[in-house]
Every structure is written in C-alpha cells, then in structure tokens.
Amino acid sequence: MKRSLLLFVCLPVVALLNAQRETTLTLQLKDTQTTISRHIYGHFSEHLGRCIYDGFWVDPAMNIPKKDRIRLDVVAALKRIRIPNLRWPGGCFADEYHWRDGIGERSKRPKMINTHWGGVTEDNSFGTHEFLELCALLGTEPYIAGNVGSGTVEEMSKWVEYLNADGDTPLTRLRKGNGRDQPWKVRFWGVGNESWGCGGNMTPEYYSGEFRRYATFARNYPGASLKRIAGGANSADYNWTEVLMKSIPHNMMWGLSLHHYTVPTGRWNQKGSATRFDEKEYFNTMKNCLFMDELVTKHAAIMDRYDPGKRVALVVDEWGIWTDVEPGTNPGFLYQQNSLRDALIAATTLNIFNNHADRVRMANLAQTVNVLQALILTKGADMLLTPTYHVFDMYQQHMDARLVPLKITAPDYISGTQKIPAVNASASLDAKGRLCITLVNIDPQNNMTIHTPLPGTGYRNINGKLLHSGAFTDVNSFEHKTKVTPVAFKGAQLKAGELTVQLPPLSVVSLLLD
C-alpha cells in the first residue's frame, strides 16, 4: 500500500551554516506492549491569578463569543489539541476550597479570600457546575482535587455523592434543584494536594492514614468507579513515595502524584526571567528540565518494589517551567511569558513521559491559561497561542498509541565543564500502524543529522511542518502573535530503508509515517 509521512518541526531560525553532527536513533518496532495514555497530555486550571477569572470565565459584559461566561475562543483552541483531562480547583487553592460555597444561585454564594494567590476576593461564581460545563464544552474529563488540608472526610464524601450519585437523596435533590438532573460520573479524584506543604505540612506517615480514611468514604457509585490519586512527593523526596507505597493498600489508589517544576536558576527566591536570559541560563534551564527523567526513573523504581505489576500510576499532575513573574504584574498571579525555550521544555518533558508510559499514565501541565507555562494568554477580549501550545498540537499523535522503545546515540551539548544530551526522542505506533517519532535538539549552535534505520517498513513519502524563530528568547506577543508559529518543512528523507532528518539547532520534530 502507499505510505506517506507527516512531519512537524518547531525551531528558531539559527544560521544553518553551523556544524553538522551525527545522531543514530534505533527503534524497537517489535516491542510495542505499552500504551502511551492520552492522559499524559492533561492540563491544570487553578483558582490562581487570571486562569479561571479573566481566563476561562469572563465578565458578562465582555463582547466575545461565550456560553454563560465561558469564553469560547479559548475552548475552541483547547479542543483543537484534544486535551484529555483538566485538573481543578487546585493546587494549593484546593485545600482551602469548600465546594458548597460554589453551588446554587450565584448572587447568594459567599465570597472568600484567596489566601494563597494574591489575597484577592473571589465571589465563587465559578464553581462545580461551571467547571463541569467547561469540561463538557471541551470534551475533556474532569479531574477534581478534594480538600484534605482544611476540609473533612464528610465534605469530600458528600461532594462525590453530589456529583456521582443517582436516586433520591438530599444531595441528589440539591443537585437537581441547581439544574443538573443526571450525575456527572467524575472518575478522577485527588485526595488532597501537596500534603507535605501547603496542603497541611503533614508527614508521609500521617498523610497515609488520612488518605486511607478519606478514600474509604469517597464512594463508588454505579457507572462512576473512582480513580483515587494520592498526594505524592515533592520532586526528589523519595522517602515520601516509599512510605505511601508501603502504607496505602494499592487497591485504594489508582495513582500517586509527583510535582516538579523547572526553575531556570534553581533558586526559588530568584527564579530567572521568562524572556531575558543568556545561553548559560538557557543551558542550566534545560539541565534542570532533564532532571525529570531521573525523578521519574527513581520514583518508578520505588513503586516497582511494592507494585511490580504496575497497578498504581505515577501521576505528574504539576510540571512545567516556573520563572519570575512579568514585570509590573501581581507577584501572586504567576503570570509569565512563554518563549521558544518553553516549547523545548514541553517537548523534552513529554518525550520523557512517553518513554516511561509503563508507569506514567497521567500528567498535567501547569497551567492552562495566563499562569506559569500557559498554553494560552489573554488580554481583555484578545488571546494568543504560546509556543508550548504548538508542541501539544504537534504531539497529539502519541495519544493512546503504543510506545516504541528506542535507543538514541547523540552528541552532548556542552557548556563549560557541564554537558547534557543534545537530542531526545520518543516514538509510538497508532491503531492504524502509523509511526510517530518526536525529536528535540536543544543545542543552540549545531545541526543534527538523525539516522533512523527502518528496514522492511515500506514508508515512502514525507510531508511536514516547521515552527521556527530567531532566538530561544522569542515569544508570541499581542503585537506579533505568530512570531513562533508552524510553517512547511522539507528537511527529512526516506531512502534505502533509512529515515534521515536534518534537525536544526533549537528544534522539535514530530514525524508521522503512514
């Protein structure tokens, strides 16, 4: 049969007269037993800054297409990349959120102070019904984080019942009175958030007991078997994972979370700018990004000792780059621009998750709109797509495809006495037998020639797209929204059973072979 190849590439324009360096990629096409869950491509929307209010949920007087107060241009953009799940209401906010304050007639809902993020007063106009309407518009699964830090077992239990129970109970009558007859049947539930920190400053031993208690009363209802997710480790806290895996019955938890952010400087008190950085800081940022592979490997190894059948998923439900806020913005709103560097971080991290798909079965980029490594930035009625958005668009082919294990031999990217791998990759086969390969070259000076033997596969034709710009600091701004945007690419060849790709500096490549 005729075969074709669809190729997407994102890179900044760097002089193509740079040195050519050789990389070999070997694919194990006969070993495709692991599925890359689409839920790895999930997202996160906290009541933080302008993510919910003035992001998804806008002033009723704003003259843009919307349903109720949900802005539909944002919904349409996210539908295009098929986001599989959306985590809400936090984050740290989840452990001070009381769900009953966000239901019923909006004018009667009590106001609250968001003590974690900017000290602003929220009117609770965006609550449970509004969030689940947003998920319905997006065609995505809701992932709700319950309040363990300042809440009660009863409070979470009743929230699950309100959302998932049918029949005649006081809570189902309350839900119906608020306009929803049928249960939503929400499956994904986080039992607390960052319980080692803002969620209660607990020890792992104490939290393990709390999880068992809360999970016991977070009931399954017909058609709504819960996937309970335990609040896992902060970055390299391997003891936290050890204690939870040892203390919590594995049939009580579907997943165990992990949070890790890429901080350019490695210092939380002065993280570095989102747009003004030199190559030394760029190198350090990419080195910190690649630490995710070590983290996932080590946490997964601990989980393997207690759960060799890999029943419990590793859920990296907060990840991304965290920089200093943009000058002149509220420091509690965590608004940062999004550069080509961030696209390289997103692509590299998604490659890491894909290659660990036997254990990593869910992840959530922080955050969707206007906060941290956002996919979308808004300014009044205006909006733009960030370079990170385009990476998620390019990587869609991996969703629910079968992982193709690979081995890559590539040069190092060297800065002073330090070095990191210059190229990373992942690959998958979809239900139609099409092969997707995603490649990242983080080296800012050198081209890479990628050689991939594909004997006997019969692939012939190559089509492609390219996302490029002049520097790793380039961004999409409201004055120039398409500075970093895809264009046609012709830099790959199939000849004599070998795929050859000329991978420019600072580039992300996605290949689809059919």
Give the active site residues: 194, 318
Largest CA distance in the chain: 72
Which residues lie below 8 Å from residue 267, measured CB to CB, with a gap of 6+?
Answer: none
Task: Pick the closest to residue 366 from 314, 318, 316 (CA basis).
Answer: 318
Task: Pick the closest to residue 50 from 336, 320, 262 (CA basis).
Answer: 336
Three-state DSSP class for residue 45: coil
Task: Pick the closest to residue 215 from 184, 255, 174 (CA basis).
Answer: 255
Sole residue written with tokens 């019955």:
249
Alpha carbon of 371 to those of 274, 333, 367, 485: distances in Å?
12, 7, 5, 21
Which residues lie below 8 Å from residue 159, measured CB to CB, with a gap of 6+?
Answer: 99, 128, 144, 146
Quote the CA–CA distance of 376 and 388 in Å, as a whole number. 9
Task: Pick the closest to residue 484 from 505, 507, 464 (CA basis).
Answer: 507
Task: Pick the closest to residue 401 from 38, 104, 67, 76 (CA basis).
Answer: 38
The phi, psi pair for 418, rounded to 5°, reads -105, 155
Neighbours of 139 (CB within 10 A): 12
Quote the CA–CA distance of 504 and 444 in Å, as a whole number. 9
